[in-house]
A and B are shown apart, each in its own frame.
Chain A
Amino acid sequence: MADILAYAETRSAALRGVAREVTSTASRIAGELGGCVHAVVIGGAGVGEAAVDLAENGADRIFVAEDANFLQYSPDVAVRAIEDLQAQHAYAAIMFPASAQGKDLAPRVAARLDRALATEATAIDTENGEVVVERPMYAGKAYGRFRFAASPALVSLRPNVFPVEQRSAAGAVEPLSVRAGENRVRVIEIEAAERAALDVREADIVVSGGRGLQSADNWFVLEELVESLGAEATLGASRAVVDAGWRPHGEQVGQTGKVVSPSLYFAVGISGAIQHLAGMRTAKVIVAINRDRDAPIFSVADYGIVGDALEVVPRLAAQVRAARAARG
């Protein structure tokens, strides 16, 4: 009854980074409750090989449903797999990533198991042997602490917030057969964004631009900064520039865009409207570059430069590149 199930998300027969975050967190909580961690992995042929590694993140048992038909996410397949595991193991909690897939799936599981779900938790602990979660509400303007009236506690975890724990352990996978049933929605195509860029939610460094960049043509200065920062960096944007058609909606950060928690966030030519702050105020370090010393963005930033973005950013890109090169 103290065991925890971690939904380990896959894509193209590989584990996604969030799978390790969820498994590591499940392992910490299972430790506190005195239970074991089960991971469930559903994917195309070959996914079992990748899944073994979850032992290193604390999975005691790894259930793998591997089938050419499971290469693409199917909510109905995942729901059936989790429902059956729950029936056999009566978990204390089931954890999902609050990724696009996890957020699509977890509520379906909740409805089927007739249990409440806490979406996008940013903290999770135990109190008196029960799971307690903290999650942002009102776009992060308030945080609620919740306990669950019944088990299993269902939780999705915000990506990039929970640490990945690594230990040396040899894992073994156990094949899982998924009950046959209807597949009400079928993925027929995956369209990658034009630039196969890192998604803004998953990047460790985000460089966001706003109306202060003056025009879409000036984005090359931000692209250079992203490049100088390495493979973990990507572009973000304010809604003003998305609405203006300068940038795609997928890059929008904020209340009606994406919520990001990178290690480092650059807000360039962004005023810091309350709806933008909602999307980035949990970044670990925030740097603001703005011409206006009184811009609200400076009230949440850790470091600021008052100045013209088009002058400051190229210099910054050059010096970051030099600093990184010096370190090797």
Chain B
Amino acid sequence: MKSIVCIKRVPDSETRVRIARNGTSLDTSGVKYTLNPYDEYAIEEALQRKEQAGQGSVTVMTVGSEQSAETLRSAIALGADEAVLLQAEPSTDGLAVSHALAEEIRGRSFDLLLFGKQAIDDDNMQVPQMVAELLELPCVTVVVDLNIEGSRATARREVEGGHEVVEFSLPAVISTQKGLNIPRRPNLKGIMAAKKKPLEQKTVDLRASGLELLSLSEPPPRPAAKIVGEGPDAVAELVHLLQDEAKVL
């Protein structure tokens, strides 16, 4: 089973987001970066599929800054065979990123093209579907279960109030959600081996963004809680406030 996994380097979810003075970018000083958490499920799925088949390969790919090479190395340390860094200025336009990825992927052979369901920086939830559309491939998003038999596959995806089971054929694009598998942790052997595996690096020009960022702002602050009281005795007052002050009951 041959897979290509698209991954992204993002600020750690603990990061405090500060807006830079220009009002349209983030102050990145002191920000710690990690692999996008959803992409861990995509990498793990590719590794397991290759292991189960006893053959194949796992290629990881990213569009990002030079520092994204670190993120690719961390994926190689988990077991990926090779990595491709498409070096570019960052863009919040998912379509611009998708074009760069699709261009690189077109012409490569693979069974599965895997993505996380969402990058936790832009929260776009669009790159997997866009790449699929550009490559004219079947695409199933937010997948929690994947079954493959030959070139046919079924997947379960999360929808409101339950799951949808869908059927499609390979090669296909899958975006992964928590629950699909349990991502492995890197071990020393993997980290050592990672140094010897190939990392291809090239510069790409992203298309002009179709979205212009006018300003960034912090979420409106919420007033600190009114502590109504302690223990069950405070309940009567709370119910009164919810009914008569907040008018939500």
Contact = CB atoms under 8 A, between A and B. Distances in A.
Interface of A: 72-73, 75, 79, 99-101, 103-108, 110-112, 114-120, 132, 135-150, 184-193, 196-199, 201-202, 205, 229, 249-250, 255-256, 263-264, 274-275, 281-282, 284-288, 293, 298-308, 311-312, 315-316, 319-320, 323-324
Q: Is the interface of B mostly helix, strand, loop or mixed?
A: mixed
A118 B158 CA distance: 22
Nearest to A136: B123
Given A112-B133, A116-B209, A308 B138 contact: no
Given A108-B133, A119-B123, A143-B217, A302 B246 contact: yes
Interface residues of B, number: 87
Contact of A320 (B121, B165, B249): B249
B192 interface: no
Contacts of B213: 144-146
A293 B123 CA distance: 33
Contacts of B148: none
Given A99-B160, A307-B232, A263 B248 contact: yes
A184 B137 contact: yes
B235 A319 contact: yes
A105 B208 CA distance: 23
Given A108-B132, A284-B248, A191 B125 contact: no
A111 B130 contact: yes
Q: Which of A138, A186, A193, A301 has the most CB of B within 10 A?
A: A138
Contacts of A320: 239, 249
Contact of A303 (B38, B218, B241): B241
9 contacts: A116-B211, A119-B126, A138-B15, A138-B17, A145-B213, A146-B211, A148-B212, A304-B228, A305-B230
B166 A146 contact: no
A312 B235 contact: yes
B95 interface: yes
A197 B161 contact: yes
Interface of B: 11, 13-17, 19, 26, 37-38, 92-95, 98, 120-130, 132-134, 137-142, 144, 154, 156-169, 178-179, 208-219, 222-232, 234-236, 238-239, 241-243, 246, 248-249
Nearest to B159: A100
Contacts of B122: 137
Given A108-B129, A111-B134, A184 B242 contact: no
A304 B225 contact: yes
A308 B92 CA distance: 44
A261 B229 CA distance: 26
Q: Is the interface of A mostly helix, strand, loop or mixed?
A: mixed
Contacts of B144: 249
Nearest to B121: A138
A288 B227 CA distance: 9
Contacts of A139: 13, 120, 123
Contacts of B241: 303
Contacts of B26: 138, 142
A185 to B, nearest CB: 4
B142 A305 contact: no
Nearest to A278: B13
Given A111-B130, A305-B228, A142 B94 contact: no
Contact of A138 (B123, B126, B138, B178): B123
A104 B138 CA distance: 12
Nearest to B129: A107
Contacts of B167: 185-186, 188
Contacts of A103: 125, 141
B236 A116 contact: no
Given A144-B213, A145-B213, A302 B222 contact: yes
